[in-house]
Chain A
């Protein structure tokens, strides 16, 4: 019937749910499902990416196992979602990267890059590596700013290209008319829904994790991670503007905008991922997509490492540890960039696209 076994199962569940509809008030998945009577692969991938894995429809379902109808929407959609990332990956040749252990790949990438930077610095001038460097431009003794910028822009641009190509394939498959554009209103609605994680609330009570008692913590950790990431991104952007527009070189004093943004973001990236990781350890196995554990944990680890080395760098930048720490920090950021299109990072992008589509469907239906 469908491309994969998990899509067959998702189709079976959506047929059950569509004749039940008790969960229609819980999240966007069910109303979106109700707009359809038959489900293509693209439809199922769309629904899978609309699901925020809050677990409510499992705890609330009268047919969840051990009932013979065996309805487990969160887990089925989690697996389908993870498989959809590989299905839409660009270039397709790299889609296998999702299946491999994301944690190992990211750490290897981060360490290789750190080693590369260290080697690069060592070749130039051993003393910078272990010496104490302070004042504007101190960082660039390790690696000249232009080299750094070139390397990271390349990695970043590649990530953006790969992501755009992937999400384009997804967008087409989930049933938007060819060349169909998202309208501003729907995008705005989706930004709000994604920004407040509207559907990670089990219909209002909170998220289900280790048992049938709802708590809001996964939502909180997710917010810390997400906004931490955005703040770090903002810090980098401001620093880049400082560098090129104002000619001011890093490191900046602690009270300066890039450092304030970066510190707050870095703290978010420490607390958030740790919280998410603990929540994942505790999560009831019947809700968890265990096969994708590595991918999820790899992404969480990279975010944590980025935040952690960043904050350490701030604390120790006036000591001899600055060189190795900077190398590690840059390594983590680099690994984050290049693994972005092939790891858990994409969940945010696809979810956002799915939310835009949902907002659009709602407007047309209204």
Chain B
């Protein structure tokens, strides 16, 4: 390779491509190093579907408005205040313009959304999903003259006094090489696919986690940056985790292994005990808490149990539910104690109070006299066949990251900004997301900070 680039981008997902395109449009020569082979390019972005952006009025693709203030309040609620307000508000403000900018890069939005999800006001959906979105970004980047190399895993970074000098990479075919560049954009994702690293915080439980996205996000770049003096942000045990089918593959099962049936039944652990209010809240929030709840249960497994009256109320699932004509038969198939499961269901049924069921609002169907309560959508489970989905924690992405400024510039441990290192996407998501998650924010963080990082990196390189 030999030549020196203005901007080196590590990673190949949304954040990396937004940075590469924006740096190239800023006049810089740009190289993108993607650790994965071409098919798997784009990390977790391949699996995404939508993006959350503030907007003042309805558009062709969104019912509106979704104001900056409302976005901010949503973020505040899910994170419980664990967010950098300056950065977060800056991101939200910029998100308004991203809606159009991303279209200028060739990405197309889906006009309206059918199906069972209802996010048409806050989130825009990519036509054809995340991989289609990535394909468009790659086409645009290549057309603009961005160089892209696949199977190019960066194995070392040469950094002196907070200044990036070169990256070393290992390529299966072309061998090892060193690449120098004037500025660096690190957009290499989190460390969710690195089970060993997860174990440092979660212990042996992490062996039972399933990784919903790419196996290539092993956090190697994050680790190098932190080791070389970049300031750390976020709690390493915080991540976005949902309950997914226990039969899903260990890695890369993507969106189709999720379950959204929790509200329609009860959730028990391997001792057939309920452990949380299944009727606590409606969709986006509920979606994001159950992964952690299941992670806290023995053996990290739980079972969503419902009956045949509700099967058409939620999205069709990849794996069919496990069925039994009696509760005992179902328990047998799930390897649960039949007596214990029967007792739990009988007690639950007895606690259900009459009400008017409406799963689109927080309705008045609830239980009385049991712990935990089911505060909404509680209905008796009594119509065979009885059905169940086994679920495990499905890790989406991690929040431990590099601290950045509003310019997406990395901050060093002593609080000084790095001369030429920028970060975008999952690798710095923890600046905004201290904990919790609201659907579509992963892409907002990647696009907004990717675009800024690319622009700033190009500016630095051309000075």
Q: Which residues of A contact B (CB under 8 A)?
A: 15-16, 18-26, 31, 34, 37, 56-57, 59-63, 66-69, 203-205, 212-213
Partner of A56, one of B47, B114, B128, B312: B128
Q: How far is the CA of A204 from the CA of B129 in the complex (A)?
A: 14
Given A22-B255, A25-B128, 18 extra CB contacts under 8 A: A16-B256, A18-B316, A19-B256, A22-B128, A22-B129, A25-B127, A37-B316, A59-B131, A60-B131, A60-B132, A61-B131, A62-B46, A62-B47, A62-B131, A68-B249, A203-B108, A203-B127, A205-B108
Cβ contacts under 8 Å, A62 to chain B: 46-47, 129-131, 254
Q: How far is the CA of A18 from the CA of B317 in the complex (A)?
A: 8
Cβ contacts under 8 Å, B172 to chain A: none
Partner of A23, one of B129, B254, B317: B129
Minimum distance in angstroms from A1 CB to a CB of chain B: 13
Cβ contacts under 8 Å, B126 to chain A: 22
Cβ contacts under 8 Å, A34 to chain B: 114-115
Cβ contacts under 8 Å, A25 to chain B: 110-111, 125, 127-128
Q: Is B6 an interface residue (CB 8 A)?
A: no
Cβ contacts under 8 Å, A69 to chain B: 256
Q: How far is the CA of A12 from the CA of B360 in the complex (A)?
A: 30
Cβ contacts under 8 Å, A16 to chain B: 256, 318
For A213, the closest partner residue in chain B by CB is: B139
Partner of A63, one of B125, B254, B317: B254
Cβ contacts under 8 Å, A203 to chain B: 108, 127-128, 132
Contacts A24-B110, A25-B128, A62-B130 hold; do A67 and B252 have CB atoms under 8 A apart? yes
Minimum distance in angstroms from A159 CB to a CB of chain B: 39
Minimum distance in angstroms from A224 CB to a CB of chain B: 27
Q: Is B240 an interface residue (CB 8 A)?
A: no
Cβ contacts under 8 Å, A59 to chain B: 131-132, 135
Q: List 22 A-B contacts (CB under 8 A).
A: A20-B129, A20-B255, A22-B128, A22-B129, A22-B255, A23-B128, A24-B115, A26-B127, A31-B114, A37-B312, A56-B128, A59-B135, A60-B128, A62-B47, A62-B129, A62-B130, A67-B39, A67-B252, A68-B249, A68-B252, A203-B108, A204-B127
Minimum distance in angstroms from B333 CB to a CB of chain A: 21
Q: Considering the complex of A and B, which 10 residue pairs feature the smallest CB-CB distances, nearest first? A: A22-B129, A60-B132, A60-B128, A25-B110, A19-B256, A18-B316, A62-B46, A19-B318, A25-B127, A20-B256
For B49, the closest partner residue in chain A by CB is: A22
Minimum distance in angstroms from A228 CB to a CB of chain B: 32
* Chain B residues touching A, range: 20 to 34
Cβ contacts under 8 Å, A213 to chain B: 139
B318-A15 in contact (CB<8A):
yes
Q: How far is the CA of A18 from the CA of B315 in the complex (A)?
A: 8
Cβ contacts under 8 Å, A26 to chain B: 127-128
Q: How far is the CA of A205 from the CA of B136 in the complex (A)?
A: 10
For B129, the closest partner residue in chain A by CB is: A22
Q: How far is the CA of A37 from the CA of B115 in the complex (A)?
A: 12
Q: How far is the CA of A190 from the CA of B111 in the complex (A)?
A: 21
Q: How far is the CA of A62 from the CA of B110 in the complex (A)?
A: 17
Q: How far is the CA of A60 from the CA of B131 in the complex (A)?
A: 5
Cβ contacts under 8 Å, B39 to chain A: 66-67
Q: How far is the CA of A165 from the CA of B115 in the complex (A)?
A: 36
A204-B108 in contact (CB<8A):
yes
Within 8 A of A (CB), among B216-274: 249, 252, 254-256
A60-B129 in contact (CB<8A):
yes
Question: Per-residue 0/1 for B369-401: is the Cβ within 8 Å of any A Cβ (1 yes, 0 no)?
Answer: 000000000000000000000000000000000
Cβ contacts under 8 Å, B114 to chain A: 24, 31, 34
For A61, the closest partner residue in chain B by CB is: B131
Cβ contacts under 8 Å, A24 to chain B: 110, 113-115
Cβ contacts under 8 Å, A19 to chain B: 256, 315-318
Cβ contacts under 8 Å, B254 to chain A: 20, 62-63
Cβ contacts under 8 Å, A23 to chain B: 128-129
Q: How far is the CA of A205 from the CA of B106 in the complex (A)?
A: 10
Question: Per-residue 0/1 for B115-139: is the Cβ within 8 Å of any A Cβ (1 yes, 0 no)?
Answer: 1000000000111111110010001
Q: How far is the CA of A19 from the CA of B47 in the complex (A)?
A: 13
Cβ contacts under 8 Å, B49 to chain A: 22
For A212, the closest partner residue in chain B by CB is: B135
A21-B115 in contact (CB<8A):
yes
Q: How far is the CA of A23 from the CA of B312 in the complex (A)?
A: 21
Q: How far is the CA of A20 from the CA of B132 in the complex (A)?
A: 14
Q: How far is the CA of A76 from the CA of B318 in the complex (A)?
A: 18
Cβ contacts under 8 Å, B256 to chain A: 16, 19-20, 63, 69
For B136, the closest partner residue in chain A by CB is: A205
Listed residue (A16, A19, A23, A69) with the most chain B CB atoms within 10 angstroms of its CB: A19
Q: How far is the CA of A20 from the CA of B318 in the complex (A)?
A: 9
Q: How far is the CA of A205 from the CA of B108 in the complex (A)?
A: 9
Q: How far is the CA of A57 from the CA of B129 in the complex (A)?
A: 10
Contacts A16-B318, A19-B318, A37-B316 hold; do A60 and B135 have CB atoms under 8 A apart? yes
Cβ contacts under 8 Å, A56 to chain B: 128, 132
Question: Per-residue 0/1 for B181-219: is the Cβ within 8 Å of any A Cβ (1 yes, 0 no)?
Answer: 000000000000000000000000000000000000000
Q: How far is the CA of A26 from the CA of B132 in the complex (A)?
A: 11
Cβ contacts under 8 Å, B46 to chain A: 62
Cβ contacts under 8 Å, A60 to chain B: 128-129, 131-132, 135
Minimum distance in angstroms from A12 CB to a CB of chain B: 10
Minimum distance in angstroms from B339 CB to a CB of chain A: 34
Cβ contacts under 8 Å, A204 to chain B: 108, 127
Q: How far is the CA of A66 from the CA of B127 in the complex (A)?
A: 23
Minimum distance in angstroms from B258 CB to a CB of chain A: 8
Question: Per-residue 0/1 for B86-97: is the Cβ within 8 Å of any A Cβ (1 yes, 0 no)?
Answer: 000000000000
For A26, the closest partner residue in chain B by CB is: B128
Listed residue (A23, A37, A205, A213) with the most chain B CB atoms within 10 angstroms of its CB: A205
Minimum distance in angstroms from B132 CB to a CB of chain A: 4
For A71, the closest partner residue in chain B by CB is: B256
For B46, the closest partner residue in chain A by CB is: A62
Minimum distance in angstroms from B204 CB to a CB of chain A: 26
Within 8 A of A (CB), among B297-355: 312, 315-318
Listed residue (A18, A60, A66, A204) with the most chain B CB atoms within 10 angstroms of its CB: A60
Q: How far is the CA of A62 from the CA of B130 in the complex (A)?
A: 8
Minimum distance in angstroms from A62 CB to a CB of chain B: 4
Q: How far is the CA of A214 from the CA of B256 in the complex (A)?
A: 26
Minimum distance in angstroms from A294 CB to a CB of chain B: 31
Q: How far is the CA of A204 from the CA of B126 in the complex (A)?
A: 13
Minimum distance in angstroms from B150 CB to a CB of chain A: 13
Minimum distance in angstroms from A188 CB to a CB of chain B: 22
Q: How far is the CA of A19 from the CA of B115 in the complex (A)?
A: 10
Within 8 A of A (CB), among B72-116: 108, 110-111, 113-115
Cβ contacts under 8 Å, B139 to chain A: 213
A15-B316 in contact (CB<8A):
yes
For B50, the closest partner residue in chain A by CB is: A22
Cβ contacts under 8 Å, B312 to chain A: 37
Q: How far is the CA of A313 from the CA of B454 in the complex (A)?
A: 63
Within 8 A of A (CB), among B17-65: 39, 46-47, 49
Cβ contacts under 8 Å, A212 to chain B: 135
Minimum distance in angstroms from A38 CB to a CB of chain B: 9
Within 8 A of A (CB), among B123-174: 125-132, 135, 139
For B139, the closest partner residue in chain A by CB is: A213
Cβ contacts under 8 Å, B108 to chain A: 203-205
